[in-house]
């Protein structure tokens, strides 16, 4: 037997030993990598794209039906001039969607200006967005181009748009409608050609009802809306993303980290990721830094990943029942917990539910699990 084969057998043996309890028995739930479908995702080698000759790469990854739908939406809206509103929790990749839309548009060779509305002081917001002329206010010692003029011919991405001051929201709406920008203290307006993409992690219905977002601006920005799903609702993307980040940070740190142990895969799949893809990336960067012997173990993951974020269901246990839950809600919750219990193993999950794998996949798609 070659040294390479011996090394691989040794690594496999070590991984198996970590999946047994103190008595040497297998772990309570069958680990994710024993499912042929999931194993294929964990074993797939992600391709780390290098920047092209034009100096950019998209690096958006997702094999789940929901992400594949988003990719199709991006491809359809990118060539248009429609304003786009991207919604979703923090860390789901809203900025990457905006970048992808810009790079697939006719404006790809022009600037993409990114501004986080939550990071700009209210007193400076109008000047940042529209610019100012010298002497317009104390400290304005020279003319300044605003972000809208800097993005002329290209795209302006307004992240956390619901955090903009109401007074600035009104002026932005006028600028979008007229295509003209007047700097603070200026007497003349300048024509600009800017495509605006906005994003927010706010509950927009609540923001509109509470008066934090103008209704007319909302309708102007939401000509085309893309909702980013949280990572916990597209768990089949976790192996692909985890491998991508493993490869990226292994190359950056010049380490040979080739795999995840089965126990590490189990913890990565069952975690709920309140910080979404950003949290997964940070966890993998940490794990690669700590990894030894060419593999990431569960002990290399952050402590929160090793805690029981979703309680395992012992025989006969049940989840909390609410009287207002519909039958479909009950079925969806039961399937979700069964999937967590078996760490994403669709074969064991289907068997425990008494249905075929094809029926399970259909219901997972129906309930967006």
Please name each of the domains of the chain with its CATH number.
Answer: 1-21+44-51+231-309 (1.10.8.60), 65-227 (3.40.50.300)
Instruction: Report pLDDT for 55.
Output: 32
Mean pLDDT of the chain: 80
Tell me: pLDDT of 314 over 80. no
Please compute the mean of the pLDDT values over residues 344-362 and round it to a whole number: 82
Tell me: pLDDT of 27 over 90. no
Tell me: pLDDT of 308 over 60. no
Instruction: Report pLDDT for 257.
Output: 94
Question: Could you tell me which residue, 151 or 338, shows the higher pLDDT?
Answer: 151
Give the predicted TM-score (pTM) of the model: 0.69
Please compute the mean of the pLDDT values over residues 84-91 and round it to a whole number: 95
Residues 6+ apart with CB under 8 A from 201: 87, 88, 89, 90, 94, 160
Q: How confident is the model at residue 287 (pLDDT cuts 50, 70, 90)?
A: very high
Q: How confident is the model at residue 22 (pLDDT cuts 50, 70, 90)?
A: very low
Please compute the mean of the pLDDT values over residues 208-213 and round it to a whole number: 89
Instruction: Report pLDDT for 346.
Output: 81
């Amino acid at each position: 037997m070659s040294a390479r084969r011996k090394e691989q057998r040794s690594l496999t043996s070590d991984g198996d030993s970590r999946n047994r309890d103190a008595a040497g028995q297998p772990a309570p739930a069958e680990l994710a990598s024993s499912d042929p479908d999931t194993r294929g995702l964990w074993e797939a080698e992600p391709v780390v794209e290098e920047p092209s000759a034009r100096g950019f790469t998209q690096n958006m990854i997702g094999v789940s039906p929901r992400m594949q739908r988003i990719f199709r939406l991006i491809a359809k809206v990118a060539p248009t001039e429609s304003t786009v509103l991207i919604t979703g929790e923090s860390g789901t990749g809203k900025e990457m969607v905006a970048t992808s839309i810009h790079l697939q548009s006719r404006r790809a060779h022009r600037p993409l200006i990114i501004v986080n509305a939550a990071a700009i002081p209210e007193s400076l917001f109008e000047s940042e967005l529209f610019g100012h002329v010298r002497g317009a206010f104390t400290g304005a010692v020279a003319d300044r181009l605003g972000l809208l003029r800097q993005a002329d011919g290209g795209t302006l991405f307004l992240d956390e748009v619901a955090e903009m001051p109401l007074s600035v929201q009104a002026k932005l709406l006028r600028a979008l409608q007229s295509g003209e920008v007047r700097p603070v203290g200026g007497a003349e307006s300048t024509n600009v050609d800017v495509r605006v993409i906005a994003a927010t992690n706010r509950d927009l219905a609540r923001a509109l009802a509470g008066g934090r977002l103008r209704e007319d601006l909302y309708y102007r920005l939401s000509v085309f809306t893309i909702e980013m799903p949280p990572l916990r609702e597209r768990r089949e993307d976790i192996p692909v993303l985890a491998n991508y980040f493993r490869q990226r940070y292994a190359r950056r740190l010049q380490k040979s980290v080739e795999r995840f142990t089965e126990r590490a895969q189990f913890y990565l799949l069952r975690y709920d990721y309140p910080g979404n893809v950003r949290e997964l990336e940070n966890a993998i960067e940490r794990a690669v830094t700590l990894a030894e012997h060419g593999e990431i173990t569960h002990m290399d993951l952050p402590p929160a990943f090793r805690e029981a974020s979703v309680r395992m269901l012992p025989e006969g246990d049940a989840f909390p029942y609410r009287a207002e839950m519909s039958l479909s809600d009950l079925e969806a919750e039961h399937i979700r917990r069964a999937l967590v219990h078996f760490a994403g193993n669709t074969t064991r999950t289907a068997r425990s539910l008494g249905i075929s794998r094809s029926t399970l996949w259909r219901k997972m798609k129906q309930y967006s699990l």
